[in-house]
Amino acid sequence: MPPEKRVNQHLNVIEAAYESGVRKIVYTSIVGETEGMAFSPVVISNRQTEEIVKSIGMEWAIGRNGLYIEPDVEYIENYKALGKVTNCAGNGKCGYTTRDELAFAYSKLLTENEHNGNVYNLLGETITQYELTELLNKKFNLNLIYDPISIDEYKKDRKAELGEFMGNIIAGIYEGISKGFFDKTSDFSKAAGREHIGWSEYFSKE
């Protein structure tokens, strides 16, 4: 669905919650920049919803999620078949997170009023694709390499596999990584009351 159409849907849900007497809303947003990458329209729609959340009249807290790291783990058979990880992120650092870590942080945002009125970047230590590839190698006992390609090449590849809309979105994410748009300071410890899991620890789990 085009991201701009989501804003009205979000508004409908938020207004319905307010009219039903809900006193607090916690919104799951995303890190990133509102211009400079093909993923920016998604970020813009999230920022617009953030403003609705702030203005509706309820208590609120907002988390801006880093990128999920699980899809890279789930894509491991494809990486093995290719013998490499390839995208257009280059040397850019990315603030990844996990679904479990987000669930923990959001449980705090929902239940602890000290977080009301705050916006948090929810992500772990930022890493490059080279570092991610090495973590995958250690986890799965592989010898993958990271092979950076141009933004245009990667867009063409993703659109061919995923279609115009999703291909553009996914390529836009890695374009953003290459430009440093996902290299953010983490507020995870402020939100969760503890540090985000480290990537060596995460990849050493069974």
Q: Whole-model pTM?
A: 0.93
Q: Backbone phi, then psi, for 179, in 5-degree steps?
A: -95, 5
Distance CA 34, CA 27 (A): 18
Q: What is the mean pLDDT of the chain?
A: 95
Tokens 């990844």 map to which residue? 96
Please report the domains of the chain, with CATH numbers, ordered by start residue: 3-191 (3.40.50.720)
pLDDT in tens, 129-186: 999 999 999 999 999 999 999 999 999 999 999 999 899 999 999 999 999 999 999 9
User: Over the stretch 159-170, which tens digit does the pLDDT of each residue have?
Assistant: 999 999 899 999
Rounded percentage of the chain residues whose pLDDT exceeds 70: 99
